[in-house]
Each structure stands twice: as C-alpha cells, then as structure tokens.
Structure 1
C-alpha cells in the first residue's frame, strides 16, 4: 500500500471516510482557519455538523524533568487509509518516541486515534499523558438560511453504561461520544484549553494517564470519537461498534486496493503511475454521504467540502473512466433533485452545502454541463432508467438555456465558470457547452422517441457550433475569444476589467487591455469577440471537438507556448500569468490529446504531476503548486480523461452498443497497459507496445458492445 512521508511544517491533511472528515495540520495541531465558516473549517466533521475543534496530547517524562508539554509532530506519513504522526526529536531530552495513528473506519460515523509510546532507553521511564479534546457541535455554512442555529453551548457528562463521555448541543439533536480503550486515572470537563485556543461554543474533556515503561517496552492508548446529527441512540450504537475490536484497518486497506486496481495504469514510469493511483484515492476521500441530505462527490477540502454543479461536470468524466458508476449516478441525482427543489425551472444549481442550502442557484454554463454529463453517464453505463427519470427536467433545462439567449444569436448570457466580476457576458465556455448540450439533448430525444424534437436540436447544435467558429474566432491571433459583446457592454465594465490587472505579473497586461479598448472605441455597436483575459476557457472549443481541424491546430499550437504555460501547467489567465489550476491544465491536456497532440498533453500532465505532495503528501493542490484546496475533485478529470479517453482512446457509445477505440499514444510511452476499465456491462484490458514505430494494441473486451476501430488507423489491434 502506498504511503508518502514528509517533515512536518504547516500543510493540512484529511482523514476521511464518506461520513467523516478530520482536517488538521501535519504538525498534529488544529489551528482555526476558514472563510466560509470563519475559523471553523477544520476539526472533525460529520456533515452537515461539526463534532470537534480538535484534540491534543500533553506528554511528560518524569525521569527527564525538562519534558512536560503538548507535543508537535516532527514527521508525517500519509496512507490512503490512515495518517501517521511521528514524535521523536520534537520531544526534547527523552528516549521515548511516540507514534499517533488516525483511522476513519468505512461506513462508521467516527474516528480512531491511537498513540503508541516506546521506551528506547535501558532505564525505566515514569511517564504521564493527558489527552484533551474540544467539542464544537455546530452546523455547516449557511445553516441559518434553513433556520438552523448553533446552540448556546455544548454540554458533556460521563455515562457509566457506555464507558464514555457524551456531549450534545444545548439546542439541537447533535451528539458526540468520546472514550478510550484504557480507563483514565483522572478526567476533567470544563472551559479550559491546551496549546491552541479555538473558536466555538464547545466544551473540553481531558483524560489523564500515568504509567511506567521498562527498557524496550511499549504502551498503546486508543481514543474513539463518534457522532450523530439525528439521535443519541445512533451515536451510542456507532460508539459501541468502533470500540468492538473489528479489524477496520484491514477492511480499509482492501477498499483502497480495489480502487487502485481499477483502471490500473502501467507506462514504465513508476512516479507517473503512483500519482495516477493517488488521484483515485483522493477522489474517494472527497465523497460526502450525509445522513439525510444526499451522497455525492464534494469539490475540495478544506474550503469546499460540499457539492457543485460545474466541478461535478468535470470530475464525473474522470469518475466514469475510473468505473465508479454509482458515485456518478448519486452525484447527478443529487444535482437534479436540488435543482428541482430550489429552482424548478430547468436551471441547475451551482453550489449546495451539506444541509441542502444554496448560495448560488446556478451559473449559465452549469445547466448545459448537467445535460452533457447526463448523456456521458448514459454512454458509459447504458442506464436508461435514470436518463428517463431526469428527462422531464432536462426539457425544462433546454428551455431555460434558450431563454438565456436574449438576442437570439445562439449564445446564452451570464457568468460561466470564470466567476470574475464583470465577465457575465456571452462567454465562450457557456456557448461551447450549450452547443454540446443541444447535441446531447437531440440524442436523448431520439432515444426517447421524440424524433422531431431530436431533429430540431441536432440542427440547432450545428448552427451554434457554426456561430462559435465564426463569431468567437479571432483570425489575427489564431485563438478563440473569451467573450462576445458590444463595445458599450464592455466599456461599461472598463474599470472592473482594468482593475483586475492591478497586480498582474505580466507588466504589459494592463496596457494590452487599454489598447484593445481604445482600438474598439468608436466602432459600430454590433456584438463581436473580445480576447481580453485569455482565460483557459478558450480551450473549450477544442476540448469538446467543436473546433474544425484547421482552427484547432492553430489555436493549440499557440496555446502550447510560454505565454499560456508555466512551470506546473496552463495559466488560468494567459494575460496575467499569475496562477495555475489543475482544471486549466487538464482541459488543455484533453484538448491537445483530442486532436492527436498526445506528446503535448503528456507534457502538461507531467507538469501538473510535478506539484504532487508539494503541500499535503499524497495530493495535488487545486492551485499549483501548493495552495487552494489541497485535495480537489476536478483533478480527477485533468489526470484521467486525457489518459483513458484519448491516449488509450476509449469512447463508449451505449446507444449504438459500440465502444470506439481511437488511441493516440505519446511517443514517450513505448509500452503501456490499462486494465479493468469498466465499460457498459463489462471491462476492457488494453496492452500497448511501440516496436520501432510498429504500434500494436492487444485488447480484451468482456462487454457485449462491439469494439470499433478507426478505419485509417496507423496501429494494429488484436482483439
């Protein structure tokens, strides 16, 4: 099983199952942080409630009177299934070492914290330890909008029948149990703190222990914390289960073995293969299953541990290629249900917290995203039942999209994925994904039997594509524009647009925008394309295959230059050149690979993979190389889609019961394999070898779908 070590600084980690998210720093502490819930995004969460602000251990070696303090880790190791902290040099003048392990068992509302003390000297050591936990039973962000408020204070008592300490919120049915495998010598409950004074209305529990260790002897103290957001009975039941002595670790190791064996990639580059597997693991960490508000993939930890429309659209394409069809259906179903509940008019929600509240009912492109994602799900799974279940709302979604095109030029208006003030015009990503949505909807209509509707939207999709390739294309630069708008509309936002460039690393950025605005001043007022920010969304015509080959080749060549690419991948903004995200890099890699430029795509993935473990060991951060969410869902899209869909060329088409096979391998990979790719009702195993230019693929297909090979392929396929 993989593990990644680091020396302790201040990056964060997560200990996760689908119910529990424990978030702290790899020095073993739990500092206050967060801007959604100010100072409250860390600690132990059982969404949609928080259970603990954190826990700390005070250690005293009475044989070495200088050692009497709360301990800080000086080493950290991240496993897929657990975290391990090492305490040695940080303890000062003592021969005792301590190891702390954290494990969130599968399907339980709780966590196990284990401390192992080892005496590495030749003399007896008289030791004591005090475990301090601070409750913070409180609700997730935006709960007030649902009429849910944190109680006045948490209350705690010892329950002999449970051999543990029970805490509850004073005003809400939020419950917590804490206990140990060893009876404490002394306990204290009250308003006191350890090394960190945390926010919240919690209460503290300290459990004190004294013991002696002979030469080479070890001692283990184990602590358990479980919770419930609905009943005391559930909390107790979970507490008894987690203390049962079951081999939770073996179960979780097996869980991650199965995850990493699915879509198993081998390319002769163990570093690349390892990162690819860790991305599968990270994806699993991000699943959030609440007791009553739904199960779906969350966007990112620590600041976005809830559900998003656009993030899911990208992520689920990777999830499908990795074979987790249930997670994809659950996520689409959640988005569908909340959109029906909160909008009801076809619009798809942007963001949903884990108690069902939404701060943004949907950006323009997200409605198109959902329609496309639903069809992609069907193409991989042939789950017609779910498609039919969603179809009535999809019809409303199409109607809503048409209504956003207020001037009937084929382009909907509003914010796309670039949520920057002022960029609520006709954006390239919204236009492109709308064209794709029309095409997917036409295929749905054909499947359902609405042939005339299918014909109408197939034609509309083509007209929208044609308009994109005409009105968004800028021949002079050989690039697609960010936006389509009139001079008047852009000039109204002149100060906002220029103001965003205030701290741009590219000193010429502001002058470039001023020059473009000046050149357009006084021109006719009809709408036209604007290449202002050069945002990564100008890749979307190539990502989706809408761009004709000649335009795609020009744009992709220009985009694969230092103007758009930095150390870790594609800049979010080719003008400012001050930030890189995994999604910008991933979309560009998919675009390059789709048009056969696999060497460029692989280079982009290698740049992105170079940020692996720069922040949290075992993860690639949202913002390259080491900031933003340290685990981000759409990294799954960025890593998996170029590899599975384009390098190995797997494109399922359930409606036709075929699997298109059009691989485009990077030259660097002379031998490669991808095994256990779940497709429709079976699996694919693909083995590739490039022997002096002779490309041979051996494919095992256990599905009922026919494998369709490109007619003029430059490779041999042995099925």
Structure 2
C-alpha cells in the first residue's frame, strides 16, 4: 500500500504534495495557484475563488459573477481579502484540499506564519474563513479585512430575458455592531418580478478598531478591472476581470489589532452570512443575516470539527482495498467527499417556467424545500434531471442514500408543479425555483424522463425502502406513459426529442433515448411486479421486448468501416425505413453501459449484442475516440464541416459535423461502465477510463481531490481549465463523473447486486486480470452492510461474503472467462449445486448460500 501511495506521489506535478494533515486526508498543490479555482461547500452555502486566495470574476451563466460567496438562491459577496498594516496578505504559496474544508499557506512578515482555512458548516447560511497566525516572538498585528458585496439572485442570468444588467439592483452598505452589513431591497424593473429583501453580513470573532465603506474595497484587486457584460461582438477577451458591468455591489473594510504570544498559534475567524425574503414575507433579512453571523462565530472551531467528523464518517462507508490500483482506490475516497460537497438545500422556491430563458412569467406554484446534488460548481450548482440520474449510481455505491433520494423527490415535486401530471421530468431548475428547461411547453430532454424509473428502481434495490418505491411509483408510471403518448409520433416505439447530446443536425430519434427507454421500461416492470401491478408489468415488458428485438436492425450503423451504432434516426414517411445518422458522438457508448434486471440478483449486462458491443468498444479505444484522459465528446474522422478532419480516422464515413475532442468525465464514465459490462477490465480497456477520471482528482487540473467536468483535451485545453479564461471554463467540481469509478469497482469488480426490496442479495465479482485479491467492507445495503472479498488466481476463483443485513436470500458467484469450463464449485469447503449464466461479461457461476455468517465460494475451472 505504501508503495502504491509513493507511486501516486511521484506522479503528481511539480509542487504537488500528498499526505495526512491534522484534519484528515489531504491533497496539496503549490504551482499556478492564481490559475486554479477552488470550491468549499455546505448544504446552505459555498465559496468559489482561486487557490492563491483571490476572487477574480469568473463563470458564464451571469458572466463574471458565478464566483465569490453564495447562500442559494442569492450571491452575497464578490470576495473578501486580508492584509497586515499597509500590505495585503498573499498570494498563497500552497493550497490543500481536505475533507470538508480547504487550507492555504500564506506568506507573512518575517517570523510570522499564516494559514487560512475555508469551510461551510452544513445547515447554516454562513461561510467561515479562519486565519491562523503563529509568531516566533510576541507581537501585535494590525489586521484588515476588505469585503465587496454583490447581492444578486441565481436567476436571471446574463443572457436571459430579462437579464441581470437590468434585473440586479444597487446594494447598500453600513457598519452595525462591528460588522459590515450589505443590503438589497426593492422590485426589479421587470414584469412579474417580485419585491425582495436580501442581506449579507460580514463579521469577525474580534471587535474591530476601525471601519470604512465605499464603492471599492477589493483588497489587492483594487482598482478593479470591470469588464463589459456581455463582451462586445468579436472583441478580444480581456486577460482578467475583477468584476463585470452586471455588478452593483458596495465595499467595506474592518480593522483589528491581534495580539500574538511567542510560539503560540491563534486563529481569527471571519463569517459571511446571508438571508433572503420575498416581498410577501414580513421577516427582516438583515436581522436574520445578523443572527446567522453571530451563531456562526459563537464557536467556529467546534463547527469545523463537526464538519470534518461528518466527512470522515462518510469515508467509513465502502472501504475498498484495491492493491493493484491504489490511485483508483484513493479516487473513490475523494469521490465520497465530492458527492457530499454537492449536496445543497434550497427553500421557499417560486416555480416559474422560462422556456430556456425566453420568458419570465408569474410563478405557477411554491415549493417549501428541495434537497439535491448540485450538478457542478460554479455554473451548474442547481438541480438537474440527467445529472442526478447518473450520479445516483455513484451515490448508492458509497452508501449516500439520503441525498439522492431527496434529489429524485425534488425532480418529481418541481415536475408536478410545472408539468402537472403529464409525467415529463424537468431538465434544469435553479435554486430560486426557475425552471430553465424541461417544461411541457418546451422540448426538454427525453432521456431524463426515461431514466427516472431506473433511478428510483436503483434506490429501491439498494435500500429496500418500499415506502420510497411506493411514494415514487405513480410518477414513474406516468414517466413512461408520457414518452409513448407524446414522443413517438410515428409509432415505431423509438422516442423522439433531445437527449444528452444537444447538437444540431441530429435526427428526431436519438440513440441514448432509445437505450434508456428500454431500460426504464424493464425497471418500471420490475417495480410493478413487486407491487402486484400485473397490467403495468405487461404494458412495460411487451414494449421493452419489442424494442430490444428490433434494436440491432434499427440502430447498428456498421458500414463504411464504422463498427458503431447510429447516433440518431431521421424519421421516414409512414411505412419507410428510418435513415441512420452517424456522427461519432459519445452516446454511441450507451448501448453498452446499461443492464437489465432478470430477477434473484441476476442481470443482463449490456443492450448491444456481444459481437457489436465488443466491436464498438474496440473502435472507441482507438485515438479517433479516446485520448489520455478518456473519451471525446465527438470522435474524429472524415467530415464536410469547416476545418475538415482534425484527428485520426477509424472509418470512411463522411460526417456533416465537426469532431469535438472535449473529454467530459461523464463520457469517460460511460465508456468505463460499458467496458465492464462486456468483461473488458484490462489496463487498456476499462482501467484506462476509470483511471483517467481518477487521475483528474489526484493529478489535479484545478482543485486537488475534485473531479472536474472536462479533462485536459485537445479542443478544450491541453493543459486543462487552468489554461482557459475564468469566464470560459468547465466546472471545477462535477458530480456525475464518479459514475465511472465507483460503479465499476463496487458493482462490477466486487459484483454487489442487491435486490433489497425483495430481501435478496447477489455477489458476483469479476476481478481485473492479474490483480491480487480485492475487497470492500461496510458496503451499505438496506439497514445494514456487506463485506466482500474477491480473488482470481490462475483458474481458481474465490468469493467471500459476510452480510451484516437481514436477508431472505443470498446468491454467491464469480464471473469466469467464456473459454473456461467449470470443474468444481464448493461453498465453505463442501460441493454445492450451481448454475451457469452466459452473459456479455462471461460465464457467471452462481450458487445459493446461507444468509448469515461468512460464506466462501470457490470455483475451479479448466480450458
């Protein structure tokens, strides 16, 4: 294990370090901190800045305004800065990501060391920043803090109707009780805008000795570079901005005297707190923000300890040992934290339908609360359908059941308010309740409606929560009814509408929509069967079987050298054949990444036939589809698009679209899971894609430990996000990429297949070739857990399971190569009856086992 950790340390870039700190595991970097963003989050707030301790303008939804300090649905500050005497502290020399917090090492005057700690207590609308001073000799430090406000709603955005240039109101600033108080009150000059009262309060654990207020106060970023919003057409992007014309904030400074004893550390805490009320609520936002600030500063050290303990507690779930791939093991440990970092709560939402930002109608309903996993920071930190449905697989794999259940509830609740009982799932919901896309009146994305029953079924199988299944069941039935009632105009069962690839030039029927609709039907039928709803079982199963039988003929492209599925179908006149459109998009991997339930822990991995699935995966491993960090959004090859072919060619087909050699972590995750479903676990197969996502956390592009949205890639930036302008970057933390690391290990390598709604568990591992024994303990299932160890040595396969959960049935197994024949199967040293299922993964050898105590299955094979 130490050797594995050493390899990771040696693989880190210059200036990066790895190792434990006082507050638990950590990852550090010390180069290009001014170019790297960071995020620290809590359930009611977050802060985004750069790792040198500065706050440049960043983000694109409202250009330049997506960083700073937020308590959704409002932004509070552009940033806060610290100085000693006449000088500003920083920039930082080292940045460290930890569990639930981040730290910066800052340069100080001779004989003075300074460490900054940022964290956000869960459940509180406050961001806490601590400066820890340690002096060689006794001294008094003249400390100052600048803060610049930007009270602004999460919506509208910079390019919507209305936009923030007219919607955002002027802030006011005052000093009250030794705290800076910022406030924005009024009604924006837009039809259907509601009056509001927003407040931000900045204070310290110390009593200030002086204060000032005014227009600026951005610390070392004064005088501010204010960039136009939006930029002029064809204008060269500025080198950097401190604010944009959207901003209407105010500033202030507080000063303090800090006495330091020789050799003793002293921490001075600062809190940024906020509150928001609409005009119909008589409560006072300023009073609420002041109260929140006082509460946050009452005992910040205890709040930090509580935060770190909660995160180390989450780390105890799904404790893995992967001796041959320690980086993947460590990546999954950090992904547990990434998922927890993504949990957000929004309250008092006004649900309104904007049709992709074109309208701003009156609210159509209210939602008291929604808890969800924010898709990505800083520009996508709200509720999405398809993001959460992919993230669900990672969430259950590490036992984080509660947040993803609430995410699905939030999607249902907003969809019912916005879309009534149509069954359509909304696509994108901002934290103030704005439905940007996915209403009945707009196209929406078909795939997230089709995937919703599968996400519910997944949670039900892992938790055994029949009440959750029953709560969601009616909505899942309407999901699939909506797809066939509204999105199959030509009656061929292939749903129409947008899917994950929202690109021009595609046919009406998309590959991923077809794939996920088949899975959604089977998962709905499985839940219906458990409830005794025979009519729904027959309705869903009959459609799924017909679609599955027709799938290969309808979707396999397989010509002009392309061993791939068509990305979309152009509907033909009635009675004719659909035209297959092949454009090399990443969704070509979706026929391989799904699996279907077969009952009693048995599954059918992959929709694609074995021959086509393997051929498609073989080709996608080539450099026309895959780079160092995973799979391109759109592969390269002959094209009539401007610029011609920008890369390798794996086929002769002339596509009308340009390649997009952007490597999204989701694309790579799809490929990793697809490879596993076809038993392709080798270093140049699944492990390449899983390790690619892992490397993005351990060899960080920006924030150490955080998996980003887009990896370093040819058409994005070879050096990653840190080489792009702050207003044109992908997310520094995106939740869904963990699908490609957690799910392959827990579900495919260790083979954990719960059906807890029926009290059943199957464990059917498949160990990567040449790997030593792998194991996982405290893998949460229902109200308990399971421990699994799997080993493949020569032609002997061992599965050891210790369930710590009530079960009605336990099936043990192992997946062996198709080329091998079973010689013997023993359970706890005794021969046992078994069955063999041949799937796309290989031969699954299965045997029943007692449900209590440690159980060991050993399979011996021959060629």
**Structure 2 length-normalised TM:** 0.74
SS at match of 2:34: coil
Residue 158 of structure 1 pairs with residue 180 of structure 2: no
Secondary structure at the counterpart of residue 9 of structure 1: helix
Tell me the distance in 1 between the aligned counterparts of 2:60 and 2:771: 44
1:547 aligned counterpart, secondary structure: coil
Structure 1's unaligned 5+ residue stretches are 61-66, 490-523
Q: For the Cα contact (< 8 Å) 2:71–2:274, is it kept in 1?
A: yes
Contact 1:415 1:424 in 2 (8 A): no
**Partner Cα separation in structure 2 for residue 465 and residue 653 of structure 1:** 23
What does residue 240 of structure 1 align with? Answer: 294
Q: Does 1:610 align with 2:610?
A: no
Query: Contact conserved, 1:52 with 1:134, CA < 8 A, in 2?
Result: yes
**Partners of 2:40 and 2:571 in 1: how far apart?**
50
Would you say 1:718 and 2:862 are equivalent positions?
Answer: no
Q: How big is the shift at 1:291? A: 2.8
Equivalence for 1:373: 455
By how many angstroms is 1:620 displaced?
2.1
1:322-471 maps to which residues of 2 (within 5 A)? 322-344=398-420, 345-361=422-438, 362-402=444-484, 403-423=486-506, 425-471=508-554
Structure 2 counterpart of 1:52: 77
SS of the residue 1:479 aligns to: coil
Alignment of 1:4 with 2:27, yes or no, is: yes
1:63 is matched with none
Structure 2 partner of 1:273: 329
Q: State the 1:353 CA deviation.
A: 0.4
- Judged with a 3 Å threshold, the aligned counterparts in structure 2 of structure 1 residues 556 and 71 are, in CA distance, closer, same or farther, namely closer
Match of residue 546, structure 1, among 607, 610, 613: 607
SS at match of 1:708: strand
The answer as to 2:688 corresponding to 1:674 is no
The answer to whether the Cα contact below 8 Å between 2:46 and 2:127 also exists between their aligned partners in 1 is no
2:192 paired with 1:168: no
**Which residue pairs with 1:191 in the alignment?**
215
Task: Give CA deviations for 1:413-438 in whole Å, capped at 9, x if unaligned.
Answer: 11110011233521110011111112
- CA deviations on 1:586-630 (whole Å, 9 max, x unpaired) are 111111111211222122211222222122111122111333111
Superimposed CA distance per residue, residues 278-335 of structure 1 (whole angstroms, 9 cap, x where no aligned partner):
1110111111112334110011011100011111110011111211221121000000
User: Structure 1 pair 698/36, CA: closer, same or farther in 2 (3 Å)?
Assistant: same
SS at match of 2:805: coil
SS in 2 for 1:410: coil
Match of 1:140 in 2: 154
- Indicate the larger mover: 433-442 or 301-310: 433-442
> 1:218: how far off?
5.4
| Paired residues for 1:693-712 under 5 Å | 693-705=795-807, 706-710=809-813, 711-712=835-836
CA apart distance, 1:658? 1.6
> How far apart in 1 are the matches of 2:161 and 2:132?
44
* Corresponding residue number in structure 2 for 1:493: none
Q: Does 1:596 align with 2:672?
A: no
Partners in 1 of 2:141 and 2:298 — Cα distance?
28
Alpha-carbon deviation of 1:127? Answer: 4.4
Residue 652 of structure 1 is matched in structure 2 by 754
Match of 1:684 in 2: 786
Indicate yes or no: 2:581 matched with 1:530: yes
C-alpha contact 2:217 2:252 (8 A) present in aligned 1: no
Distance in 2, matches of 1:395 and 1:146, equals: 37
Paired position in structure 1 for 2:339? 283
Is the contact made by 2:118 and 2:129 (CA closer than 8 Å) also made in structure 1?
Answer: yes
**1:16 maps to which of 24, 31, 41:** 41
- Cα gap change, 1:548 to 1:151, in 2 (>3 Å): closer
Q: 2:437 is paired with a residue of what secondary structure?
A: coil
CA-to-aligned-CA distance 1:442-478 (integer Å, 9 cap, x gap): 2233333331331122011011112221110134433
**How far did residue 100 of structure 1 move?**
1.4
* CA–CA distance in structure 2, aligned partners of residues 446 and 218 of structure 1: 63
Q: Note closer, same or farther for the CA distance 1:218–1:390 as it changes in structure 2 (3 Å cut).
A: closer
Cα shift at 1:406: 1.0
Query: Does the CA-based 8 Å contact 2:789-2:800 persist in structure 1?
Result: yes
Specify whether residues 219 and 413 from structure 1 end up closer, same or farther in structure 2 by C-alpha distance, changes over 3 A only.
same
Q: 2:61 aligns with which of 21, 36, 45?
A: 36
Distance 2:784 2:397 in 1: 13
Once the two structures are TM-superposed, the CA of residue 159 in structure 1 deviates from its matched residue by 3.3
Dislocated runs of 4+, deviation >4 Å: 124-127, 143-151, 210-219, 486-489, 713-717
Partner of 1:310: 386
Q: Deviations over 1:333-363 (max 9, x none)?
A: 0000111111121111110000111111121
* Residues 208/164 of structure 1: CA separation in 2 closer, same or farther (3 Å cut): closer
What is the alpha-carbon distance in structure 2 between the residues aligned to residue 439 and residue 364 of structure 1? 17
Question: What's the TM-score, normalizing by structure 1?
Answer: 0.88
Match of 1:515 in 2: none
Asked whether the 8 Å contact 1:695–1:715 carries over to 2, the reply is no
The CA distance in 2 between the partners of 1:423 and 1:577, in whole Å, is 15
Contact 2:507 2:581 survives alignment (8 Å): no
Tell me the CA shift for residue 213 of structure 1.
Answer: 5.7
Q: Identify which range, 423-432 or 237-246, moves more after superposition.
A: 237-246
1:556 matched to which residue of 2? 617
What are structure 2's unaligned runs of at least 5 residues?
Answer: 1-23, 187-195, 225-242, 278-284, 350-369, 439-443, 595-605, 637-658, 713-719, 722-729, 814-834, 837-843, 848-854, 858-863
Contact 2:270 2:297 in 1 (8 A): no
SS of the residue corresponding to residue 616 of structure 1 reads: coil
Q: Which structure has the highest helix share of the two? A: 1
Corresponding residue pairs, total:
671
| RMSD of aligned alpha carbons | 2.6
Cα shift at 1:216: 4.6
Aligned-residue offset at 1:117: 3.1
* 1:70 shift after superposition: 5.3
Q: What's the CA shift for 1:555?
A: 2.2
Contact 1:45 1:52 in 2 (8 A): yes
Conserved in 2, the CA contact under 8 Å of 1:564 and 1:570?
A: yes
Cα deviation per residue 1:551-572 (whole Å; 9 max; x = unaligned)? 2222222323333221011112
* Structure 1 residues 184 and 448: alpha-carbon distance in aligned structure 2, compared to 1, 3 A threshold: same
Q: Is the CA contact 2:140–2:260 (under 8 Å) kept in the aligned structure 1?
A: yes
Alpha-carbon distance change, 213 to 441 in structure 1, aligned in 2, over 3 angstroms: closer
Question: Equivalent residue of 1:86, what SS?
Answer: strand
